[in-house]
Amino acid sequence: MVCLGNICRSPLAEGILQDKTKNKNIFVDSAGTASYHIGKLPDSRSIEIANKYGIDLTKQRARQFSKIDFDNFDKIYAMDTHNYASIISISRNENDRNKVELILNEINPKLCDSVPDPYYGERDGFQKMYNMLDVACNIIVSKL
């Protein structure tokens, strides 16, 4: 799960997908394309909305996406088109690129919708983000 800062969207996406796959042998992680928040806890508003659904994000720390992630993961979900482009820009080959998908394309294939960045927005942005990610993750799990 990849966003910009790895403190708002992708930590929540990681927590939701982990929660839905806890009985499966699947490793879920998240990262940001930017380096600003490396080592930080998820944003308190993401922690709070996750808590509401019984999901704990407090063991997570932000890290930056790197080329090695193309080797370590089978699937890479970008939260928005900007981050999708950043990930593709450091891909090494077609195999890397085939792993990358916009997460909301799981709901509406080919629409290329982005999960809005809630960082500077209102608190209800975090609830809307949760709702979108919950639907997308249900579809991801149904295909596993």
Active site residues: 3, 9, 117
Instruction: Output the smallest distance, CB 142 to ligand 4NP, in A.
Output: 25
Instruction: Output the smallest distance, CB 52 to ligand 4NP, in A.
Output: 18
Tokens of 127: 């609830």
Task: Please answer whether residues 61 and 6 qualify as being in contact, where contact means their C-beta atoms are separated by less than 8 angstroms.
Answer: no
Q: Which is nearer to ligand 4NP, 71 or 112 (CB)?
A: 112
Instruction: Output the smallest distance, CB 38 to ligand 4NP, in A.
Output: 12
Binding residues (CB under 6 A) for ligand 4NP: these are 3-9, 32, 36, 117, 119
Q: How far is CA 40 from the centre of its chain?
A: 16
Q: Which is nearer to ligand 4NP, 4 or 76 (CB)?
A: 4
Q: Phi then psi for 109, rounded to 5 degrees?
A: -55, 135
Beta bridge partners of 31: 2
Q: Which is nearer to ligand 4NP, 133 or 140 (CB)?
A: 133
66: left (phi over 0), alpha (psi -120 to 50) or beta: beta
**How far is it, in rounded angstroms, from Cα 102 to Cα 120?**
22
